[in-house]
Homo-oligomer: A and B are copies of this chain.
Amino acid sequence: MAASEAEEDRSAQRVRSADVAREAGVSRATVSYVLNNTPGRRISDATKVRVLATAQRLGHVPHASARSLRLGRSNVVLALVSDFTFGYVRDQTLEALDTAMTKRGYVFLVHRYSETLRPLAELWPLIWPDVVVSMAGTSVSDALSRRDPHTKLVEAQPLLDQRRAGEMQAEYLFGKRHRRLGYAYPTNSNVRSIADERLAGTRTACERLGLRPPVVHSIDRNDVGSVTRALDSWKSEEEPITAICAHNDEIAVMLSMALTSRGLRVGHDLAVIGIDDIPISRLGISTVAIDIEQSTQRIVEHVLAAVENRPAKVSRRPVLRLVARASA
């Protein structure tokens, strides 16, 4: 009974490198050398093949914690987000990163980072990631860089010129003879820094074009009432507002739907332009498209560069492109 139970336990147990070593008739050190292809170590092909085959057969997978304990790093790439509410663009980016890093043997993990919930100082020793990709937009860098010089940090946000996107919106509407603009700003605090950059861009462009600053109203993506109120406010301006720059396509779509439900037509009664070029916007929303291929590739390159301890190749091919549709 006891024997059988022990037997069962053993079979359910993980396979250690010692098991492989015993089975292959070599030492644990040799197993390690073979499995890691340790540079500066020459192992005869015969042993190498035998060890690999044995490991394969037994289904040995090195215990990450043990490895991490010894090496001081974890083979983990940690993506920090401030929010699980990913937008289309972020989805694509995460997916591309995940695929790229997984292919190179890293484990890609996403963690919602909130300083109040769990400070970086605590999160750190729990993971010891090799690379951190911050998509939080907050200033993770300060807290991070002095914590562990070994860890690389990649800030995703600055890799895209958010300010320029905001400018392009205003410039386009100006070209369409709009002279008084509204701005739909998101309440979601997790995107504040991106939102502020985009708005700053629009403001800059307005100033340069001799327009008055845009009339800003906040849109809460979880409260359609905020859309209604914003539309009312814009309509009640003395000098008529004829076009809205939306923080992103999602908000632009909300505006469009709200207009429709009032019996108004977007692009006719009020012009709207978004940013991102999410799929649904192709149903008639003008937007500043972000070249997903490019922007994604740019981030992947930065992360790989961090991993490989080399400077990133900076590509400067344009990533933003204006797409005119029926809404403006």
Contacts and interface: CB of A to CB of B under 8 A. Distances in A.
A65 B68 CA distance: 6
Contacts of A59: 121
Contact of A112 (B63, B98, B279): B98
24 contacts: A12-B148, A61-B122, A61-B124, A62-B125, A63-B69, A63-B125, A64-B127, A65-B128, A66-B69, A69-B69, A84-B91, A84-B94, A84-B95, A85-B86, A86-B86, A102-B117, A108-B111, A110-B110, A110-B111, A221-B279, A221-B280, A224-B279, A224-B280, A258-B283
A283 to B, nearest CB: 4
A117 B106 CA distance: 11
A85 B75 CA distance: 25
Given A69-B63, A107-B111, A125-B63, A261 B284 contact: yes
A109 interface: yes
A109 B111 contact: yes
Interface in A149-175: 149
Interface stretch (A25-33, A207-215, A249-257, A294-302): A249-257
Contacts of A65: 64-66, 68-69, 74, 128
A94 B63 CA distance: 28
A99 interface: yes
Nearest to A107: B126
A235 interface: no
A85 B91 CA distance: 6
A126 B76 CA distance: 9
Contact of A126 (B64, B85, B149): B64
Nearest to A79: B110
A35 B243 CA distance: 60
A108 B108 CA distance: 13
Contacts of A68: 65
